[in-house]
Amino acid sequence: MKVAVAGTGYVGLVSAVCLAEKGHTVTCVDVDENKIKLMRKGVSPIYEKDLEELMHKNKDRLTYTLDYKSAYNDAEVILIGVGTPEQEDGSANLSYVRSVAKQIADSIEHDCVVVVKSTVPIGTNDKVEEFIKNNLKNCVKIYVVSNPEFLAQGSAVHDTLKASRIVIGTEDEEAREIMEKLYKPFDLPMLFTNRRSAEMIKYASNDFLALKISYINDIANLCELVGANIEDVTKGMSYDGRIGDKFLNAGIGYGGSCFPKDTKALYYLAKNQYDYELKTIKAAIDVNVTQKTKLFFEAKRKTDTFYKRNVTVLGATFKPGTDDLREAPSIDNVKLFLKEGADITVWDPVGLNNFEKLFGDKIQYESDIRKAIEKSDIIFIMTEWAEIKNLDLNLFNGKVIYDGRNCFDLKDVKKYKFEYHSIGR
């Protein structure tokens, strides 16, 4: 099938490349000329495992362009994969979705299915369909389908090609048949529902995972007070099939482009449009905010001053396997260290360039983890990179370690000569 994809971020580009991998001809559209130039050279503008390899493999089925008219005018399916960032009040910014909807209305010359893959508030697909139909330049038939993604950064390609399910929300039998044809090569379970249910499935799934993380962090904080070990607690919980063992790792909270944004967006929607307060979601948000800087304030209580102290932050990104810094705990903590007058060094295997865009010459950047450790008096671990977990712990001797990701076994730590603090243990 002939497919166009609007947006080349994590959702758009990964979707496009995976569709090409399954035999479709795909045109990727973006407004950023630099990104288009990179992709035409076979270079991915985002750090994502296996993505560049598949871009090269499927280069004959992938086109990258700034010209949305040529991409949309005869496409059978158009995927909207642009960002829906958080606004100041917590609501989702739909300006990019609206912009693409207008371009589609201006451009399409044949019947087509418009697929909204972006995470959007419930009811948005209805509005997109109404807008496009009211503004069509040509006499064509369009269907709008909700098709949320469930990928995780760092494993996005795998999560798309080997998805647990494909959720499709549509009101039309014709659209259903086209979506079945689009995804038939994937040979994955497909759930068909109406559009609003599909939109809610995405939010309900993400917010449940965020809630699970905040819940276990709350329990971990109590474990410290009562003398329990959170890792033993979660292991005991995990044997219950109703609970499982996923998203039960205590730490300094969640970040990234999904959980923070989607929890706030759903809470805002319920509160402001329906006067209904999602108390559990509000609790997840509140716990996460304080959890991010928990270790900073713990260290501050035990340290006279951070002024001119050599502080090293190991891990800048919100999780391993990505260069994404959105809502990363490292950012909140570095800002606090700067206010305290600390001399800060940050190490990360892939995120330093993005981190430097935020902090410039206010801090130091070190690509060699051993050198970063040598420079420090106090070390804060913010991301559970394998390079950190596989370290020779002798390197920490004489240091004070605050481990926000519980990277090391307590039995191992006791064999070495450094002060060690972690979460819930």
**Domain-wise residue ranges, the chain:** 2-193, 202-291, 293-421
Give the ranges where 73-120 is alpha helix by DSSP (H): 95-107
pLDDT tens-digit readout, 197-211: 999 999 999 999 999
> Please, what's the b/e burial string for 87-124 (b: 16 or more CB within 10 A of its CB; e: otherwise)?
eeebbbebebbeebbebbbbbbeeebbbbbbbbbbbeb
Over the chain, what is the mean pLDDT?
Answer: 97
C-beta separation of 80 from 46 below 8 A = no
Domain covering 202-291 in this structure, CATH number:
1.10.1040.10
407 given a catalytic annotation: no
Tell me the residue type at 228. A
pLDDT tens-digit readout, 220-255: 999 999 999 999 999 999 999 999 999 999 999 999
Q: Which residues of the chain have pLDDT under 50?
A: none
- Kindly name the residue from 28, 112, 223, 258 that is annotated as catalytic: 258
Domain 202-291 and domain 293-421, same fold? Reply is no
- Minimal CA–CA distance to 98: which of 76, 116, 112, 110? 116
Fold for 293-421, please state it: Rossmann fold (3.40.50)
In CATH terms, the superfamily for domain 2-193 is NAD(P)-binding Rossmann-like Domain (3.40.50.720)
- The pTM for the full model equals 0.94
Give the percent of the chain with pLDDT over 90.
Answer: 99
Q: What is the pLDDT of residue 304?
A: 82
Q: What is the pLDDT of residue 142?
A: 97
> In what order do the strands lie in the sheet containing 166-169?
62-65, 25-29, 2-6, 77-80, 112-116, 142-146, 166-169, 190-193
